[in-house]
A and B are shown apart, each in its own frame.
Chain A
Amino acid sequence: MMNFLPRPSQQNILRYRGGLLGIAAVPGAGKTHILSALAAQIIAEGGLQDGQEVLIVTLVNSAVDNFEARIRRFFENPLQALYKYRVRTLHGLAHDLVREKPASVGLETQFSIIDEREAGFIRREAVNAWLASHTLDEYLDPALDESRREWVRRQQLPDMVDSLANAFIRSAKDRLLTPEQLRSLLDASPAPLPLAELGWSIYADYQRALAYRGAVDFDDLIRLALTLLEHDEEFLERLRFRYPYILEDEAQDSSLSQQRILGLLSGATPPSSSGSGWGVGNWVRVGDPNQAIFETFTTADPDLLRDFIRTNPNADMPESGRSQPSVIALANHLIDWVMQSHPEPLARTALSLPHIQPVPEGYQPVNPPDQPEAVRFIDKKFTPEEELEAVAKSVKSYVDSLADLPDEQKPTIAVLVPRNNRGIEVIEALKKRGVETIELISSTSNTRAAAGSLNYLLSYLADPQSARKLAKAYEVWRRDWRSDAEKMELVKATIDVIRRIGEVETFVAPATLSGRGSGVNVDWLALLSESESEQVLQELADFRVNVGRWLNAVTLPIDQLILTLAQDIFSDASDLALAHKLALVLRKATADHGDWRLPELTSELAVIAKNERRFIGFSSDDSGFDPERHRGKVVVTTLHKAKGLEWDRVYIMSANNYDFPANLPGDRFISEKWFVRGGLNLEAEALAQLTALESNGEFDWYEEGAATQESRLGYVKERLRLLYVGLTRAKRDLIVTWNSGRQGDATPSLALSELMGWREGKG
């Protein structure tokens, strides 16, 4: 195996030979590396039989590629590891399982998977249908006058019910409840549960619409995979043989059903279902419960991993070479304060040990040197606008100070904000000052670039007479040359020539080539031979062959057209995979909209290119954002999306009690709508009603308002972890600011005040 000097904590993990193992890792502990090493070790030791693989489960597709590359690197001869391991996301794994036996769960071979946008669209239709025939008046604040009420019904309810329905459906699926089963539970319920009725109605409608399309959503994949495993013992046995070892990364983000899938596969099941112990199985779970943060509703629960670690053999990975000691100390103090002194005792479980430790001497990587002054809390009370100005100004002067450095020596910089809207404001403020920003939104620029490329080709095919669009298509065709300055010169020259074509057909399909016409029609390219360089002419000739093929492909069904184009312009695996997905999406679109032709399909693709449609799942939807590629520029993103990333300098904004409440009097909660009576959080109440349906004791029966309170607590805890994630993104410089909020009454978040006080005390 490759030369790799594991740190003491890593050595401990590499002693693993089998059984259950729970590992709590701190930010920057090198989880991917150690899991890859462990997989390579299992393979190298020859413990696998023919047909057996180490299964590595991770969270996002970008990690899949990362794992594969790393495992390969442990072997001198890659054939040694061929077919010996498999890296999958949980959804990808679920897809594999369901794909193996679709008919057992009521699917056919060609079942399709709809993305979140399409799912949202279908759900919204169900929501609208529900709102058209039902009322939520019993939940509205009685103090509202009729015109206000009417406004709420029109302007507020659709979004709120949609979000409620989303949470309800996802949660029902996580509990493996079909609409049918839910209906019988509702029918048997001793008391009316209006929100659960609402949820059921939309769920049933939504599921019917999916069935009509022959499609499932991502949550269905998990649900169906689990159903399959629970009802087909022989299949499960076969899979257990196939995957004798399961290594799970980012385990803090697993939901109950996801955990159950891996549990069943490994042979280990949670005590709750078997009564005693976890059973046996080779299952290594690595995660950081302190980094369990969720942007939208999720069924994931970090306590699942905590319980696993607590009740099974376990190890820590406390060493991290990412941050300088002062940042580490700060993060560790946040853990201590939350665990010991948070004024809301129930919030004290938000964070847990271990503390972060610097990498011991003699091992890699080496932490940045200590620079206490590089950690700064700005305690000044800014208005939101002032905060923007202050941060923009600071960023600007910092970026300016780097101007003379060569790019590769420039530091990486990020501004992290609690929500998207704030990010947009930051970007605008920076742009105004001429600072170049990089957006890190839900999918990466790669996805968008690929969709964009296809979009340009389709735009041309929809309007093949346009020389301008043809030039764009040419540019797309040569997209692989973008990083080669010399070749780009040629591309630019060729583009200029193409733009000048008067009648595109004389280039693409000259009549003389097809033996038609009488010399009136000419081959534009042949005429060009005098004036242009040999290279440009060759480019044009090569390009023409391709365009001819594309023009002929136009009558193909759209999916095949896309794939054909993709095969010509993409060579990158993730691009090809994406193209396939786009092909399916567009094919589906034509099935659902019989009147759509190229222009409509092109706009659909534009929507994707603009990132309004998000892909999750099996194609490399995000090839991984790499901050290193944007040195000297400023990445603006939400704290949530910064997870897994690191920068030399990090700004955290809006650290006030609105975005980071502590459940103190005066804290406001975003999920509690002003127009709902009693400040109920209807989403939380709906989920509580769902829980009540499944319960059988009278003591855990639904009680209105309790869930709203509980959800406050969940939110407070999640926000503490979010702050922890934000702090631990910084390698060297960390700057935290807060603002007084839209209404001017917000205060610094309690955690921020604590950290400021602690630093002052130290200083």
Chain B
Amino acid sequence: MDPTPDQLAIAQAPLNAKTFLCGYAGTGKTSAAVERMKYLLSQGVRADSILLLAPQRSLHEPYLENLYLDPYTGGEVTPATLGGLARRMVDLFWPLAAEAGGFARPDLPPVFLTLETAQYYMAHLVRPLLDQGFFESVTIDRNRLYSQILDNLNKSAVIGFPHTEIGTRLDAAYVGEPAQRRVYADAQECANRFRAYCLENNLLDFSLQLEVFANVLWPQPPVREYLARTYRHLIYDNVEEDGPRAHDLIRDWLADFDSALLIYDEGGGFRYFLGADMSTGLALRELCDQQVVFEQSFVMSPPIADLSAHLPHAIAPSLSPPPSTDSTGVEALHIIQSHFYPEMLDAVAGEVRQLLDGGLPPSEVVILAPYLSDALRFSLTHRLETLGIPWRSHRPSRSLRDEPASQALLTLAALAHPHWEIRPPKFDVAYALMQAIDGLDLIRAQLLTEIVYRPRELALAPFDGIKPEVQERITFSLGLSYSILRDWLLAQREAEPLPLDHFLRKLFGEVLSQPGFGYHADFDRVRVAASLIESFRKFRIALDPTGSTNLSGLGKEYIAMLQDGVIAASYVEAWKQQVTDAVLVAPAHTFLLMNRPAAVQFWLDPGSSGWYERLAQPLTHPYVLARAWPFGQAWTDADEVNASQESMSRLIGGLLRRCRERVYLGLAELGESGFEQRGELLRAFQKVLQEQSS
């Protein structure tokens, strides 16, 4: 689609213009910004002088997709998140950072922690405190306890308050049973100890990276000069999804740029639970020369637009303006109703098939749910597959530990490293073979494992040694794949030990990705393998930056930590490697942060409480720790209700603004777990339908 005059005006603004572009999703803001980027390049601006800032990496996608369409000069555009930039700066200016930041060993290099390695160290520090009675009044999974303490540290950095205030801020807003209060003091103590440990050992978790950059490096002239020299043009999309500390920095920094385009989604703020702050983002507009508002949606059909006026109002009457039209847009709403859950999934898959048969491209269909359990994902995608529908999925909340593909890789790793003395049971080996060898079903996998595998000696017998009639049952082609895999594993036992990530990469490259093997054409598994490799690599670097430790011992330690759940928070990397022309199956929030519309949206489980309830986290609180929350003001039930309504209204508004034509409700009277579903979203729909009928 050609740019509109309004978009062109943004794109072709003078090379020294600073513009604040505001509007809802679907009004063409990002398209205008992409045009702006292309325009800058076409005007001879060096690519490497353009900083493309966004709160999370997926939001860079539309820019990078368009970047390569036309030739340009001068290096590469820098796509960055503020966290990523912080890390790069700390790395670059480490001597400066280390000295002033209070690190104990400025002479040694910094070690950057990932979420999982930070969790590993946190576990290490907190475990002994638990035995001393810390956190006795909370009932919480240990690993999530660690992650919430880290979350508090991250919030203090993103929002910009001293990490030593975490406990008092939370405590001051607490309403409820007094015995609960002490957990905040405990959480504070743990955060303090963790920070101290990091400073002592040159470890930088996300919070420390950001703090060192913002508090220590930013004020230093050499750093400012370097940044000002390097980046002359700023494109900053989804300003509203970043935290106040990022906004503070931009406030300071903006004057240094020749040009800037800041883009703000009025209906955003979906990342509030990560510290995003719309108000501090919006305040940046005062610093821009011009403010432009886009109002016309390029996405929503008139009925969807009507629905987007009525539904959020039905959800939160006090927070959304009353709709100006009587037409509720319910004609864009289709209800798939069933008594039981599986029936609903069948109907949804069948409807998708019909839509595609009618000529709709798969990428124009998204299937969304507030939560996407593995069982739901599995049941649904299986149904799609059965009907020949291409699909893709993205679930950041799914951990590597639970991924069958990563379990299979680790089982194979154990088979190749007898000295780890991890002896996978036969079941694990059969499952691993089933995944590793393309077309090997569970029955043949078990048959094969029964015959060839002896756990005690970790022995893998050759296929040729099996009785011919059994070989036939397993089939020779599968047998051949097994033989290749076996030979490779046995050769590894003799070879020089490799770090686990190198080993896995080799296993993947030399065997599993080849034709005849299970990772050959299975993008899901490839994704998992890549994530596992990356996860271990980061673990290795964090634990052993100098490479001095016994390499294969580290692999064993990693597996133990993974099984224990300590580093289970490692996620499968993003969806972007996947086929793009496919039906997306995702949690609703994930879809929102992909910044792309779809013609048809399926909303599963409209009766679920997941549409409006935030995740309960006893040790942290996204609203109370926000900058705007007055210290000492209690967080009451009314606040909670308002916040839930507001967040659901925002979520639903956001979804509808990303919908072109139609919304299907996948409504099973009994939810996944067999309970009746009657959450707030369903009630809101009820209201809109009643409005229509009256």
- Enumerate chain A interface residues (CB-CB to B < 8 A): 50-51, 82-83, 99-111, 178, 180-181, 208, 210-216, 220, 227-228, 230-235, 237-238, 461-465, 503-505, 508-509, 511, 514-518, 520-521, 549, 551-557, 559-560, 563-564, 567-568, 571, 573-580, 583, 591, 594-595, 597-598, 618-619
Contact = CB atoms under 8 A, between A and B. Distances in A.
B139 A215 contact: yes
B427 A107 contact: no
Contact of B678 (A50, A83, A178, A551): A83
Nearest to A204: B136
B590 interface: no
B180 interface: yes
Nearest to A104: B176
Nearest to A506: B473
B509 interface: no
Interface stretch (B11-19, B230-238, B441-449, B657-665): B441-449
A571 B341 CA distance: 9
A518 B477 CA distance: 9
Interface stretch (B117-125, B205-213, B635-643): B635-643
Nearest to B404: A555
Interface residues of B, number: 71
B353 interface: no
Contact of B616 (A107, A549, A619): A107
24 contacts: A101-B637, A105-B180, A106-B183, A110-B141, A181-B179, A214-B139, A214-B140, A214-B142, A228-B176, A234-B636, A238-B641, A505-B441, A509-B443, A514-B441, A516-B475, A517-B476, A521-B472, A556-B378, A564-B378, A564-B379, A576-B670, A576-B674, A577-B675, A595-B425
A210 B139 contact: yes
B375 A598 contact: no
A664 to B, nearest CB: 47
B42 interface: no
B137 interface: yes
A108 B140 contact: yes
Contacts of B476: 517-518
Contacts of B506: none
Contacts of B673: 576-577, 580
Contact of A505 (B404, B473, B609, B618): B473
B637 A180 contact: no
Contacts of B135: 211
A231 B175 contact: yes
Given A232-B637, A559-B375, A503 B473 contact: yes
Nearest to B678: A83
Interface stretch (B276-284, B428-436, B458-466): B428-436
Contacts, number: 203
A231 B636 CA distance: 11
B670 A556 contact: no
Contact of A567 (B341, B617, B640): B341
Interface of B: 135-142, 144, 175-177, 179-180, 183, 340-342, 345, 373-375, 378-379, 382, 402, 404, 407-408, 425, 427-428, 431, 434-435, 439, 441-444, 446-447, 472-473, 475-478, 563, 565, 609, 613, 615-618, 621, 636-638, 640-641, 670, 672-675, 678, 683, 686-687
Nearest to B174: A104
Nearest to B140: A108
Contact of B442 (A210, A228, A464, A563): A464
Contacts of B408: 555
A463 B434 CA distance: 15
Contacts of A214: 139-142, 144
A108 B427 contact: no
Given A50-B687, A516-B478, A556-B404, 11 more contacts: A110-B144, A216-B139, A232-B175, A233-B637, A516-B477, A517-B476, A552-B442, A560-B373, A568-B342, A576-B341, A618-B675
A509 B441 contact: yes
B439 to A, nearest CB: 5
Contacts of A102: 616, 618
Given A465-B446, A509-B444, A520 B641 contact: no
A679 B408 CA distance: 61
A107 B138 contact: yes
Nearest to B687: A50
Contacts of B345: 567
Instruction: Determine which residue in B140, B374, B404, B472 has the highest number of CB atoms from chain A within 10 A of its CB, and name it.
Output: B140
B472 A103 contact: no
Contacts of A110: 141, 144
Contacts of A508: 441, 443
B683 A51 contact: yes
A518 B480 CA distance: 14
B439 A514 contact: yes
Contact of B382 (A99, A549, A597): A549
Instruction: Determine which residue in B141, B180, B435, B477 has the highest number of CB atoms from chain A within 10 A of its CB, and name it.
Output: B141
B672 A580 contact: yes
A462 B445 CA distance: 12
A517 B477 contact: yes
A129 B6 CA distance: 75
A213 B144 CA distance: 12
A560 B375 contact: yes
